């Protein structure tokens, strides 16, 4: 882990060590997410995840050694929901559900999770939007959405659009902007979903200002600028 100090513009490296309470579980960090109350959730390449409490400066680790449903698959995404449940996405072991109060970890991997139609266990990102829709992106099968606890349905089936299926057959990350719109980073550009209109747009190097097609990450800063990271650089711009 590396922490940036804005006051003196320096980085502080926080490495794993002999004291599990004050150091990360591993130095191979694969995902990083800010949770409720300022908590920081950390996922690791070789399985397991941790939560860091800034108020105490202490870590709590969730490891394969203690919880059987946590495997050595990379933890690619973590999302702490409003009800306190923590959802963990892995590359090969599907979804994990953590009940923090009960310290219970449940596996939502296929085929046991088949009734909910989770299409793949290779999860790249997870997100619950402001309307309560549960979005899951996959390294190998695009994006799925679940509304009000219903089964997951791939978005290309929702819109019945071959072009969409081709564009997001692989998805890297999901981002919700300050208007509640859902952006998906794909190898072919950006897919933008408009929940209020029940429609979508595709942004590629051919129809937008994207410099590179293989998009990895998307975020929005305090001035409403969009930052789009790719394998070959970064695009920055305001909505037009």
Given a cut of 60, is residue 113 above it in pLDDT?
no
Q: Which of helix, strand or coil describes residue 30? A: strand
What is the pLDDT, as a whole number, of residue 40?
96
Element (H, E) at 157: helix 155-159
Q: What pLDDT score was predicted for residue 57?
A: 92
pTM: 0.90
pLDDT at 110: 61
DSSP state of 72: S
Report helix, strand or coil for 40: strand
In percent, how much of the chain has pLDDT > 90? 65
Q: Name the percent of the chain lying above pLDDT 70.
A: 92
Is residue 176 within a helix (H) or strand (E), and if so which, with residue range? strand 173-176
Cis peptide before 72 (omega within 30 of 0): no
The SS3 of residue 37 is helix
Res. 162 pLDDT band, cuts 50 70 90: low
pLDDT value at residue 96: 94
């Amino acid at each position: 882990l590396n922490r940036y100090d804005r006051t003196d513009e320096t980085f502080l490296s926080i490495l794993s060590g002999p004291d599990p309470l004050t150091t990360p579980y591993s130095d191979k960090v694969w995902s990083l997410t800010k949770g409720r109350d300022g908590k920081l959730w950390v996922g690791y390449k070789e399985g397991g995840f941790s939560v860091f409490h800034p108020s105490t400066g202490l870590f709590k680790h969730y490891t394969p050694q203690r919880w059987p449903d946590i495997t050595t698959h990379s933890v690619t995404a973590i999302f702490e929901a409003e009800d306190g449940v923590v959802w963990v996405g892995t590359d090969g072991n599907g979804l994990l559900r953590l009940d923090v109060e009960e310290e219970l970890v449940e596996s939502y991997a296929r085929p046991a999770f088949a009734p909910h139609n989770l299409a793949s266990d290779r999860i790249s990102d997870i997100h619950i939007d402001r309307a309560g829709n549960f979005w899951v992106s996959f390294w190998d099968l695009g994006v799925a959405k679940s509304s009000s606890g219903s089964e997951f349905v791939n978005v290309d089936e929702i819109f019945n659009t071959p072009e969409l299926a081709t564009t997001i057959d692989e998805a890297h990350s999901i981002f919700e902007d300050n208007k509640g719109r859902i952006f998906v980073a794909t190898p072919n550009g950006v897919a933008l979903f408009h929940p209020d209109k029940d429609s979508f747009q595709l942004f590629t190097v051919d129809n937008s200002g994207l410099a590179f097609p293989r998009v990895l990450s998307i975020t929005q800063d305090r001035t409403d600028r969009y930052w789009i990271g790719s394998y070959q650089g970064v695009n920055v711009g305001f909505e037009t």
